[in-house]
Every structure is written in C-alpha cells, then in structure tokens.
Amino acid sequence: MAAENEAGQNAVAQPAAAESANPQREQDINPWSVEGAQGENGEIIPIDYDAICRKWNTQTVDQKLLERFEQVTGHKPHRWLRRGLFFSHRDFDKILDKYEQGKPFFLYTGRGPSTGSLHLGHTIPLQFTKWLQDVFDVPLVFMLTDDEKALFKDSATFEETLEYAMENARDIIALGFDVKKTFVYSDLKYLGNHFLMNAWEFSKLVTFNQVRGAFGFNESSNIGRIFFPSVQCVAAFATSYPELWTDEPLTARTKEIASIPCLIPMGIDQDPYFRLLRDNAHRMRYPSPKPALIHSKFLTALQGAGGKMSSSNPNSAIFMSDTPKQIKNKINKHAFSGGGATLEEHRSRGGNPDVDVAYTYLTYFEDDDAKLAEVYKNYKSGELMTGELKKMAIELLQEYVLQFQEQRKLVTDEVLDQYMKPRKLQWAGNKNPKPKAAAESKECSVQLG
C-alpha cells in the first residue's frame, strides 16, 4: 500500500480560478463547492470521478467488493451500489470483516443545514445510510453542522442555521431511520463534555499547515473555520457520545468505547475531512481505528452532468417540498435531454441516455435492472421518445416525494425529541457471526448493545 498520508499529498483545494480570457479550468471539488471542469469554449465537462479516486487515492467499489458484501450480509447490494452511485471507499472491506465476526461498529453521517428543506440530492446518501443501518442493524449518529454552515456562509446567522437544523432533522427522520438505533443532534445544541474534549484533543494534534493543505484556508480565514474540522472529525469517535453505549453514567472516555469502529457514508466532497481523521485517529489518548468511508457521486443537476443539485439554484433541483406539478414542470422544462433535436432526428439517430437527466434519475429510482436496460436500449435506438422517458422519471419522482411528504407529517415535536435525546441505543448487529472468524480474532471487543 502507498504511504498513507491521507490529508497531506494531493489534498490541496485550489481556490476557484478567477475569470479570465481563457475560461478553461479544472474541476474543483471541496467540501463547500463542486464545479465541473470547463473546456476551451467555456463548456462544462462532466465530473471525472475516476480522476478523483486517483487524485485522492481512494479504493473503487468493484464487483469483488459487492460479491463479498452479498456473501457476508446475505443482501443483494443496493441499486446505488450496483450502478456505481456509491463508487469509492476506504476500508469498507474491513467493516465487512468486522460484521462477519459479529463485532460492533456504528454509522456516522451528517448534513450541513443550508436551507429549511432538503432536495432530492441530499436524500440519496441519507436513504443509503438508512439502508445500511437496516442491513447491518447498527447504531447511527447523525450530525447537523449548524455551526459549520454559519461559519462558512458570511450572511448566515447561528440562529438561522440552528433553525434550519431543526427543520432538516424532521426531514431526516421522515426518511425512516429506526428511533431505537438513531441519535440525531445539532452541533450548536449538543456539543460539550466528552465531545468537546475530543475536539480539543484532536485540534492539538493538527497544525494550521495541515488544515490549510486539506481545505485551502489562509491567514484571513476566521478561526472558527480553522477549528471546525476537529468537530466534524471527532464525531466518528464513539467516546464523543458515552450515553449511547451504556446506561451507566460515564464520567470518562474509555479505551473500550474508543475502539468501536465507525463507517461513514458521505458525498465524495467530504473526503478531505476524513483523510485528516484517518491520519490522526490513532494518535488520540484513547486511539480509535481509522474510520471506514463509502463515497457517493453527486446527484446530477437538472441541467446535466458537471453540476450538482444546489439549494441556491431552485431550477437545478427537485425539492422534497415540491408539489407533483412543480416536479412535472421542472423535469419537462429544465431536465437536460439527450434526445434528438427533432422527432425525425430522434427516430433515425436515436437519443443519448448517458447524458440524459431524466434517464439518470430513472437509474436512481427504478430498482428493476432489466426494465432499466430495456429503457436504455429503446432510447438509444430512437424507439422511445424524450417525452415518454421524462414521463417515467416524473412518475417515479412524484411518488418518492409524495411518500416522503406523508412521512414528514408524522414527525411531531415529540417524535423529534425522541430522536434528539441522548440515550442508550439498542441494536443487534450480526445475529449469525461466523464462529471460526470470531474465535480466531484476537482483538477485544466491548460488550455493547
């Protein structure tokens, strides 16, 4: 394996190139903005995900890993794994080993609350996280980074982002996470005690040079931004939440709790944070294993590859609060089409599903692989028209969003309180661990759950 300084090399986030006579620029992906490359004539080039894997030295999710997943869990891999939406990872295979041995681990993910309502793109990693939670039967901690959003957006106040966090929490809960296994928290409200002690200890291990390298900060960056990575990182340490693992009042962080591994599903743009974490987790007083990561691509904007759905551009995204009519109009008016320019041209030369946004959305939501392959073939041959393809996408999206809105109505204040209350979580993990593997393993495990 290559020397693993995950935060060091390669990780420098370049500030977006200034507008100049030559509009050509490279793709720029960092936790706060995602821009596709731009060609000579200013055209946006689709995001090159292989290039990110190479640059950041991540492992690709390949057939072998998917087979191993199925063998260990007994579940068919989710369509987002089969179709490469979750395309990259770090040590996901090691989590499968743990699971196989019946060892505990937990899931951690999060969201930066930038507006009151989630869009479709936000829900994908979250929905996937719920699926992982169901498959593995493990605890999940869900961080709402209302602190981050106010620090990184000059015009945002902390009151505003806290309010968004509470609204977003309702959306997240509506996705169906199991309350017995899920702790949702706002940084502004929850951080203290053990969590903060971890954050301070971690910050003591990391220099300004390192965060500058990983995130592109400079001497004019506010000091909150410089400290914040510490907060997002230590959320992956089980010691940050002693209440979740035991009923006894814990007065100190412990070695046993620190040893619980963590798996973090995320958009690939968040990777710089977790390289920093993986480089330093073992240096804590109570060391934690390097967390495992699984990375998703960005959900394609209505305008097509090269952009991602963005809350600040309402026409780029389907919002989870949109009406069926709005969804229909957005897809019909704004979804980039790979169809022929005229009906005749489409019939004779066929369409291009690979750049077609309606087709792309079908790949996110149509579970039937055979049906999807049929649509692909018929669109490419010109038999299936753009209007028909769009109609299919519209119907699937309307159903998904409507179902979500029904669930959202059920999230009362009491339900919200249940999820956001620190309490001992209950889960079972792997009920049939492989006996031999368990016996062979020398690592100790805590009695949890």
Residue number, 186 or 386, with CB nearest to ligand TRP: 186
| For ligand TRP, the closer CB: 112 or 304 | 112
**According to the binding rule CB under 6 A, does residue 88 interact with ligand TRP?**
no
CA distance 131 to 124: 11
Given 30, 88, 101, 109, the residue binding ligand TRP (CB under 6 A): 109
- Residue 176 exposed, middle or buried by CB count within 10 Å (0-12, 13-18, 19+): middle
Residue range at the interface with ligand TRP (CB under 6 A); choices 88-96, 262-270, 280-288, 384-392: 262-270
At CA 305, angle to CA 30 and CA 57, rounded to 5? 40
In single-letter form, the type of residue at position 103 comes to K
Nearer of residues 136 and 359 to ligand TRP, judged by Cβ:
136
DSSP for 11-33, please give it. -PPPPPPPP-SS--B--EEETTE
Segment interacting with ligand TRP (CB under 6 A) among 140-148, 157-165, 276-284, 362-370: 140-148
8 Å CB contact between 211 and 226:
yes
Closer by beta carbon to ligand TRP, 173 or else 372: 173
Residues binding ligand TRP: what is the number (CB under 6 A)?
14
Going residue by residue from 231 to 260, which x/- string records binding to ligand TRP, judged by CB under 6 A? -x--x-------------------------
Nearer to ligand TRP, 235 or 260 (CB): 235
Of the listed pieces 102-110, 130-138, 215-223, 361-369, which binds ligand TRP according to CB under 6 A? Answer: 102-110
Binding mask 268-287 vs ligand TRP (x if CB under 6 A, - otherwise)? --x-----------------
Strand partners, 182: 140
Q: How far is the CB of 235 from ligand TRP (least distance, A)?
A: 6
Applying CB under 6 A, among 36, 77, 104, 112 the residue interacting with ligand TRP is 112
Instruction: Figure out which of the listed residues 53, 96, 143, 358 binds ligand TRP, where binding follows CB under 6 A.
Output: 143
CA distances for 53 relative to 75, 88, 220, 296, 338, angstroms: 26, 7, 31, 11, 27
Please tell me whether residue 139 binds ligand TRP under the rule CB under 6 A.
no
266 binds ligand TRP (CB under 6 A): yes
Q: Which of 77, 104, 110, 306 binds ligand TRP (CB under 6 A)?
A: 110
Q: Rounded to whole angstroms, how far apart are CA atoms 307 and 2?
A: 32
**213 to 232: interface string for ligand TRP, x by CB under 6 A:** -------------------x
Using the minimum distance from each CB to ligand TRP, give the nearer residue, 124 or 389.
124
Contact present, 192 and 241 (Cβ < 8 Å): no
Q: Tell me how far apart the alpha carbons of residues 56 and 50 are, in angstroms, rounded to a whole number.
A: 10
Q: Minimum distance between the CB of residue 110 and ligand TRP, rounded to whole angstroms?
A: 3
Binding of ligand TRP by 148 (CB under 6 A) = yes
The whole-angstrom separation of Cα 338 and Cα 334 is 12
Cite the DSSP H helix spans in 175-282. Answer: 187-190, 193-205, 208-215, 223-234, 255-258, 271-280
Query: Which pair of tokens denotes residue 417?
Result: 């309180």
Find the part of the chain contacting ligand TRP (CB under 6 A) among 36-44, 108-116, 351-359, 388-396: 108-116
* Nearer of residues 110 and 242 to ligand TRP, judged by Cβ: 110
Give the residue with the Cβ less far from ligand TRP, 31 or 338: 31
Please compute Rg for the chain using Cα positions: 22
Where is 267: in which H helix or E strand?
strand 262-267
Task: Report, in Å, the least distance between residue 435 CB and ligand TRP.
Answer: 34
Q: Tokens at residue 155, please?
A: 């015009």
Nearer to ligand TRP, 111 or 380 (CB): 111
Residue among 228, 275, 276, 234 nearest 258 (CA): 234
Q: How far is the CB of 269 from ligand TRP (least distance, A)?
A: 8
Nearest to 265 by CA among 364, 122, 422: 122
- Residue 352 phi/psi, 5-degree rounding, is -115, 95
Q: Interacting stretch for ligand TRP, rule CB under 6 A, among 85-93, 110-118, 249-257, 391-399?
A: 110-118
Binding of ligand TRP at residue 309 (CB under 6 A)?
no
Q: Cα separations (Å) of 116 from 95, 185, 248?
A: 34, 16, 37
Contact positions vs ligand TRP (CB under 6 A): 31, 108-112, 143, 145, 148, 232, 235, 264, 266, 270
